[in-house]
Amino acid sequence: MNEINRSFTPAVISSNRRILVTGGSGFIGSHLCERLLDAGHEVLCVDNFFTGARANVAHLLDHRNFELMRHDVTMPLYVEVDEIYNLACPASPIHYQRDPTQTIKTSVHGAINMLGLAKRLNAKILQSSTSEVYGDPQVHPQPESYWGNVNPIGPRACYDEGKRCAETLFFAYRMQHDLPIKVMRIFNTYGPRMHPNDGRVVSNFIIQALTNQPITLFGDGEQTRSFCYVDDLVEGMIRLMDRTPDSVTGPVNIGNPGEFTIRALAETVLELTGSRSALVRRPLPVDDPRQRRPDISLAKSLLNWEPTIELREGLAKTIAYFDAFLASAQAEVYAAH
């Protein structure tokens, strides 16, 4: 009798959700998957490994609530989930310019497929948009109300315009189907598990410094960026999804308003690594934005969110990660890419 009773004991009813993270084995996605699992959710990570790697989620593969699926979001996906975080898309200029048409397809067809999935399931869906929708901004800092200054046919257009179209699609689904959407505009983010060959400034400078190679300063180095540590970013992302009513759609800027010249970043990296690398000048890439800093008033008021990790603290953690990475066998795998 006892045996029978035990086998019919109802499962503990849980409010935890089944959450799809597209691009989940990339840099930001892998941190998001980790946080969602820590909160007790089930996570389905979908990725085609264009820039992501199994290594980024290797530590999650044995977790009972984690599942990894190889899939390209430009193809329809049939799964059952309660929420969707749509992160799939290469983020660095080197990677998104490698196959511009695929980048556009990932943003646009990927958004259509994920929105279609969300519509069938009536699932809440968050889009990881970007500060690149502001292009080379003529308004500084950039509030969400600014419509941007994007060259529609330049080398960055496949990413910028793809992301702009994805935002349009999200709002069209909202208007037409009343879908619960969240749109987040991410500013430059850095931290452990950035792709070592993505050519982005933080990973480039740290690797160059740690290996005593010249630090490549594009242009005069006086262009500015605002750098957000990945833990802060993920906190903002989860707050937007979880802690706002369905009526709150965004777009919401999430980034660190601390603004630094690229030259100052190089000098800080040199100081923190104790490197002997010299600074060398290289040509400024076409359409490289002159300045960028988020206005985060909306995130502060809506999400009670602001970044907590200073640049030097975040850089120290990222340097420690790349130091260990360069000493590991993984570095050889990436060197081949």
Residues assigned a catalytic role: 159
Q: Using DSSP, how many helices (H) and how many strands (E) does the chain show?
A: 12, 13
120 token code pair: 């069938």
If the CB atoms of residues 74 and 268 are measured against ligand NAD, the closer one turns out to be: 74
Are 298 and 253 within 8 A, CB to CB?
yes
Task: Decide if residue 188 touches ligand NAD (CB under 6 A).
Answer: yes
Locate tokens 């497929």: which residue?
113
Task: Decide if residue 85 touches ligand NAD (CB under 6 A).
Answer: no
Q: Which does 27 bind (CB under 5 to 8 A by kind): ligand NAD, ligand UDP, none?
A: ligand NAD
CA-CA distance, 311 to 316, in Å (whole number)? 8
The one among 20, 34, 45, 48 contacting ligand NAD by CB under 6 A:
48
111 token code pair: 């958004």
Instruction: Please return the burial class of 261, using the count of CB atoms within 10 Å of its CB with bins 0-12, 13-18 and 19+.
Output: middle
> Among candidates 104, 153, 135, 128, which has minimal Cα distance to 29?
128
If the CB atoms of residues 113 and 223 are measured against ligand UDP, the closer one turns out to be: 223
Contacts of residue 37, defined as CB under 8 A and 6 or more positions apart, other chains included, come to: 43, 60, 63, 65, 66
Stretch that binds ligand NAD, among 19-27, 134-142, 147-155, 315-323 (CB under 6 A): 19-27
Residue list 105-164, contact with ligand NAD (CB under 6 A) = 106, 110, 128, 130
In angstroms, give the least distance from the CB of 278 to ligand NAD.
Answer: 27
C-alpha pair distances (Å), 13 with each of 9, 16, 45, 217 = 11, 9, 24, 55
The one among 89, 262, 298, 315 contacting ligand UDP by CB under 6 A:
262
Adjacent-strand bridge partners of 185: 129, 253
Stretch that binds ligand NAD, among 44-52, 259-267, 270-278, 321-329 (CB under 6 A): 44-52
Adjacent-strand bridge partners of 83: 19, 124
The one among 127, 142, 223, 253 contacting ligand UDP by CB under 6 A:
223
Stretch that binds ligand NAD, among 45-53, 245-253, 272-280, 300-308 (CB under 6 A): 45-53
CA-CA distance, 164 to 144, in Å (whole number)? 13
Task: Decide if residue 201 touches ligand UDP (CB under 6 A).
Answer: yes
> Among candidates 230, 245, 252, which has minimal Cα distance to 296?
252
Task: Decide if residue 184 touches ligand UDP (CB under 6 A).
Answer: no
Task: Decide if residue 241 touches ligand NAD (CB under 6 A).
Answer: no
Contacts of residue 59, defined as CB under 8 A and 6 or more positions apart, other chains included, come to: none
84 token code pair: 């969707």
Q: Which does 253 bind (CB under 5 to 8 A by kind): ligand UDP, ligand NAD, none?
A: none
Task: Decide if residue 186 touches ligand NAD (CB under 6 A).
Answer: yes
The one among 31, 109, 185, 200 contacting ligand UDP by CB under 6 A:
200
In angstroms, give the least distance from the CB of 216 to ligand NAD.
Answer: 18
Q: Which does 126 bind (CB under 5 to 8 A by kind): ligand NAD, ligand UDP, none?
A: none
Are 142 and 131 within 8 A, CB to CB?
yes
CA-CA distance, 193 to 34, in Å (whole number)? 13
Task: Decide if residue 20 touches ligand NAD (CB under 6 A).
Answer: no
Are 197 and 334 within 8 A, CB to CB?
yes
Q: Which does 29 bind (CB under 5 to 8 A by kind): ligand UDP, ligand NAD, none?
A: ligand NAD
If the CB atoms of residues 169 and 201 are measured against ligand UDP, the closer one turns out to be: 201
Query: Which residue ranges make up the site for ligand NAD (CB under 6 A)?
Result: 22-23, 25-29, 47-52, 72-74, 87-91, 106, 110, 128, 130, 186, 188-189, 195
